[in-house]
Amino acid sequence: MKTRLLSTKGLLVLTSLFLAVYSVPVRASKECVEGVPPSNRGQDARDTTPDGVSANRPNVLFILCDDLRPDALGCYGSQHVKTPNIDALARGGVRFANAFCTTSLCSPSRASILTGLYAHRHGVRDNFTELPTALPQWPARLHAQGYATAYIGKWHMGENNDEPRPGFDWFVTHKGQGKYFDTEWNVNGRRREMPKGYYTTVVTNYALDWLKQREAGKPWALCLGHKAPHSFYFPEEKYTHVFDDVRVPYPASAFTLDDQPEWIRQRLRTWHGIYGPLFEWRKDFPDDRAEAVKDFENMVHAYWGTVLSVDDSVGRLLAFLQQSGQLQKTIVVFMGDNGLLEGEHGMVDKRTMHEPSIRIPVIACGPGLPAGKVVTHQVLTVDVAPSLLDLCGAPAVPNVQGRSWKKLVNQGDSDWRTAWFYEYNYEKQFPYTPNVRGIRTDRWKYMHYPPGDGTPDKHLPELYDLSKDPGELHNLAADPDSVSTRRQLEGKLAEMLTAAGLGDGKDNMPLDEGIKSELPDQKIR
């Protein structure tokens, strides 16, 4: 396998308290970057002035990837994808080993990250809905606290709207998904332009341009929304053949579907199944021949390739913060909006509640955060907003559904959640996943598929003991020995839905019209 040229240059950073030493691999190429993650200085944002506003507020660099599987990063265990800059962030901060989205779909999840609310509360239930501007969002909250704020990159709530949204001093985005090459950008509502080049590089250029203009002494919060590694996957030329020698078989779970609900087998040959078109990596489909796994392998290689450019971007940003003396006072959060199935259970795409679909990477680093810590408690997309506001000493938003993990990561939190619920609503435009309601505890997962009209389920549910079966290979939903466990989880899920205001028939969802073989409209793929 060809790998990028990396050399591990010992880059010793002694913090004032000698708390941490980081070494960051430096790429021996034109894109050489040196990035050193902020150290933990045990400092937080509580040094307040008489007017109650923190005098020592950290900056926030928030980096959001699209459809990034944790295991496509070195620090989450990838054997093939080298991500030295992101790994350095993890070494210098907190890596959440069990982070999840509450709806595995781009727009709903992005809205949850900004608001701390589930999709049923913020109302962005599909990929075509604007985020209601009246809802409190953490960047706008920081703006009200005197922060300079910017959103640069993929926004993707409101398909055809590339105009600036409220709460940001500077807003650079594009319509819809954007393209890996030569995207047309709307720069703060002032002009549209199409800088030549690769999306990940261009969006980083825009971010650096904004960072270079910051006033000294005024804290800032920058959200950078990557397109990568969202489909359709097109790596930069230099990364196109990096993984050519890596074999990528279909996962074992693609062939253990006997005790799974029928809709999963129906999905196999569709737009979201492994025998389908694979985001155009397979031209003749469906194709379930063994040799057609080559198309799947090519798709995964391309996906990984796009991640390499994201790591370069992180390196450039960290290098700038270091050179400008801001690294020590900047909280850096790096995360994905939802997971991605890469063949598991015979699926591609996301939307379902299976582990690869809901697992996201979340790494947080900087003032108020410990260094080199791996947190295994379950954290959620809805925790981001309360956590960032907490870390920045800004007022919390009442009635959010997430929780700040500031205490959890620093001193532990015996009250931290041990269970949470998941929701996904059937989409007519993408008829490959039923309605999903489910619960995930520290040990168990139970998910079922309501038809949407209040009648009893028609699909078999799924029940997994994640402690023994993390790959979700053995569905225990019909297992006589698991009846009481299933009942308990059903009861707990009903309790949680009721507590969220979704009891007594108030959990509105679309009618499940079944799994279909039709391809989605070309314009929204």
- Would you say 402 and 384 are in contact if contact means Cβ atoms under 8 Å apart? yes
Note whether 177 binds Ca ion by CB under 5 A. no
Binding to Ca ion (CB under 5 A) within 295-324 occurs at none
Report the candidate in 158, 152, 116, 153 with the shortest Cα–Cα distance to residue 136. 116
Decide whether 229 or 434 has the Cβ nearer to Ca ion.
229
Report the candidate in 55, 20, 62, 65 with the shortest Cα–Cα distance to residue 38. 20
Stretch that binds Ca ion, among 99-107, 234-242, 358-366, 485-493 (CB under 5 A): 99-107
Decide whether 127 or 435 has the Cβ nearer to Ca ion.
127
Structure tokens at 182: 């030569």
Distance, in Å, from the CA atom of 95 to the CA atom of 90, rounded to the nearest integer, reads 5
Task: List Cα–Cα distances, 241 to 77, 135, 233, 236, 474, in angstroms.
Answer: 21, 44, 13, 10, 36
Decide whether 44 or 355 has the Cβ nearer to Ca ion.
355
Stretch that binds Ca ion, among 88-96, 103-111, 126-134, 428-436 (CB under 5 A): 103-111
Stretch that binds Ca ion, among 50-58, 64-72, 253-261, 479-487 (CB under 5 A): 64-72
- Would you say 362 and 99 are in contact if contact means Cβ atoms under 8 Å apart? yes
Q: Which of 67, 312, 349, 472 is the binder for Ca ion (CB under 5 A)?
A: 67
Q: Supply the minimum distance, in Å, between the C-beta of residue 99 and Ca ion.
A: 14
Q: Supply the minimum distance, in Å, between the C-beta of residue 155 and Ca ion.
A: 12
Q: Supply the minimum distance, in Å, between the C-beta of residue 109 and Ca ion.
A: 6
Decide whether 338 or 475 has the Cβ nearer to Ca ion.
338
Q: Supply the minimum distance, in Å, between the C-beta of residue 123 and Ca ion.
A: 18
Q: Which residues contact 79 (CB under 8 A, 6 or more apart)?
A: none
3 state SS of 239: helix
Q: Supply the minimum distance, in Å, between the C-beta of residue 230 and Ca ion.
A: 6
Note whether 337 binds Ca ion by CB under 5 A. yes
Q: Supply the minimum distance, in Å, between the C-beta of residue 14 and Ca ion.
A: 39
Decide whether 287 or 383 has the Cβ nearer to Ca ion.
383
Q: Which residues contact 364 (CB under 8 A, 6 or more apart)?
A: 93, 94, 96, 331, 332, 333, 334, 387, 409
Stretch that binds Ca ion, among 104-112, 296-304, 352-360, 396-404 (CB under 5 A): 104-112
- Would you say 111 and 157 are in contact if contact means Cβ atoms under 8 Å apart? yes
Stretch that binds Ca ion, among 66-74, 291-299, 431-439, 507-515 (CB under 5 A): 66-74
Task: List Cα–Cα distances, 501 to 109, 333, 506, 508, 513, in angstroms.
Answer: 19, 31, 7, 11, 25
Burial class (CB in 10 A: 0-12, 13-18, 19+), 518: exposed
Distance, in Å, from the CA atom of 333 to the CA atom of 371, rounded to the nearest integer, reads 13
Q: Number of residues in contact with Ca ion, rule: CB under 5 A?
A: 5
Q: Which of 66, 162, 295, 472 is the binder for Ca ion (CB under 5 A)?
A: 66
CA terminus-to-terminus distance, the chain:
32
Q: Supply the minimum distance, in Å, between the C-beta of residue 67 and Ca ion.
A: 4
Which residue's Cβ lies closest to Ca ion? 106
Structure tokens at 163: 């105009």
Binding to Ca ion (CB under 5 A) within 279-298 occurs at none
CA angle 355, 361, 367 (to 5 degrees): 145
Note whether 106 binds Ca ion by CB under 5 A. yes
Stretch that binds Ca ion, among 60-68, 115-123, 264-272, 492-500 (CB under 5 A): 60-68
Note whether 338 binds Ca ion by CB under 5 A. yes
Binding site for Ca ion (CB under 5 A): 66-67, 106, 337-338
